[in-house]
Amino acid sequence: MVTEMVGQLNRMNVIEMKQTKMQSKFTKVGSAYGLISGITFAMNSIILGVALAREPFTLGTSAMYVAPLVAAAINDSITALWLIIYNAIRGNMNELVRSVKTKPGVMICVAAILGGPVAMGSYLLGIQFCGSAYTMPISALCPVVGAVLARIFMNQKMSARVGIGMAICIAGTALISFTPPEGEYPYFYLGLLFAFGSALGWGAEGALATFGMSMVNPDIAITIREITSGLASSLIVVPIISGIGMYGALLGTPGTLWIIAIAALTGAVSFLTWYKANAMIGVAPGMALNITYSLWGLVFAFFFTGVTLSVYLIIGAVLVTFGAILVVLNPFETLTKKGA
C-alpha cells in the first residue's frame, strides 16, 4: 500500500517536472520569437529608410508625400509574397483559403486595412519627415492606443499599472519631441504627427485582430493580413495619391527594388515571429517583446545611418519602451512566474 502510494507520488512528480519543462521550453521559444520580431522589424524600418533616400523615391515635386506610401504598398506586397512562399512550403494554402471565408478571417482583413495602408503609410511618412530614429519610439505607443480602445469599446478596465505605463509613455514621447535632430528635417513636427498616426492604426489593428487571431493559425493570420494590406495599399491608396507613376518607376529600378525586397524579407520574418509569439506566449507579452524594436532601431540607426542620437532621444525611447511594456504586462510578475 505504502509502496503503491510512493510509486504514485513519484509518477506525479515526474509528470509535473516534465510539464514544467515543456511549458518552460514553449515559453522560451515564444519569447525568442518575440525578440526576433522586434529586431527584424527595426531592420525592416532602417532598410526602408535607406531605400526611401534613393530613386525613384526622390524624383518629382510631390515625391516627399507619395514616396512613403508607395514604399509601404510595395513593402507589404513583397512581404505578402514571401509569406505565401513560406506557407506554400508548409502546406498551408488550403487552410488559408478556408480561413479567409470565416468571420475571424474577415476581421483579420479589416484589421489589416487599419494596420496596413493606414498605419504603415503613416509610419513611413513619419520616417520621411522626422527620421526613423524618432518615428520608431512614437509609433511604439500603439499598446497605449490599444488599451484606450479596449477601455472605450470593450469596457476593459484600465488598471493602475496600465495608467502608469501610459504616463511613462507620454513622458517619453514628450522628451523625444523636445528637440528636433540636426540636419534637414523641415517638417519634423508633421513627421511626429504621422508617427503618432501609425500608433493609432496599429493599436486599432491589435485590438481588432486579437478577436480574429484566436482561432486562426497565426502563420495564416499574418499572411491574410499582409495580402490584404498589400492589395489595399497597391490598388486603392497608390492610385488615390497619384503614385502609379512612381510605383511603375520603382518596378523598373532594380537596385532600389532589391533593397525593398530585402527589407520585405526582414519584415516577413518579423511579422511571422510576432504572430507566432502572440500565439505561444499571449498577445500582451508578444507585443511587449516586439515593441523593443524602437530600441533596436536606435542601435541600428546609430550604426548604419549616421544619425546623431541626442540624450533626450535615448532616454525618451527607453521610457516609451518601458512604459509600453508596462501597459501590456507586469514585467516583475511575468519574469518570476515564467521562470528563467
The closest of 111, 67, 113, 61 to 230, measured between CA atoms, is 113
Q: How many CB atoms lie within 10 A of CB 185?
A: 16
Q: Is 279 in the site for another protein (CB under 8 A)?
A: yes
Q: Is 26 in the site for another protein (CB under 8 A)?
A: yes
Q: Is 282 in the site for another protein (CB under 8 A)?
A: yes
Between 237 and 277, whose beta carbon lies closer to another protein? Answer: 277
Q: How many CA atoms lie within 13 A of 44 on its CB side?
A: 28
Pull the grid cell for residue 185.
528635417
Choose, by CB under 8 A, the member of 62, 103, 248, 299 that binds another protein: 103
Question: What does residue 60 show for φ and ψ, rounded to 5 degrees?
Answer: 95, 150
Q: Is 159 in the site for another protein (CB under 8 A)?
A: no
Region near another protein per CB under 8 A, out of 13-21, 60-68, 149-157, 265-273: 13-21
CA pair distance 113, 81, nearest whole angstrom: 17
Lay out the site mask for another protein across 183-222 (x = CB under 8 A, - = otherwise).
Answer: -------------------------------xxxxx-x--
Between 77 and 99, whose beta carbon lies closer to another protein? Answer: 99
Choose, by CB under 8 A, the member of 280, 325, 328, 329 that binds another protein: 280
Q: Is 151 in the site for another protein (CB under 8 A)?
A: no
Region near another protein per CB under 8 A, out of 101-109, 164-172, 188-196, 253-261: 101-109
For 62, counting Cβ atoms within 10 Å of its Cβ (0-12 exposed, 13-18 middle, 19+ buried), the class is: exposed
Choose, by CB under 8 A, the member of 6, 7, 9, 11 that binds another protein: 11
Between 127 and 288, whose beta carbon lies closer to another protein? Answer: 288
Between 209 and 264, whose beta carbon lies closer to another protein? Answer: 209
Q: How far is the CB of 106 from another protein (least distance, A)?
A: 10
Q: Is 273 in the site for another protein (CB under 8 A)?
A: no
Q: Is 154 in the site for another protein (CB under 8 A)?
A: no
Strands (E) located in 23-124: none
DSSP state of 184: S
Q: Is 8 in the site for another protein (CB under 8 A)?
A: no
CB pairs under 8 A, 24+ apart, for 96-105?
Answer: 96/220, 96/223, 96/224, 99/216, 99/217, 99/220, 99/221, 99/224, 100/224, 102/215, 102/216, 104/211, 104/212, 104/213, 104/214, 104/215, 104/216, 105/212, 105/216, 105/224
Site residues (CB under 8 A) for another protein?
11, 14-15, 18-19, 22, 26, 90-92, 94-95, 98-99, 101-105, 214-218, 220, 279-282
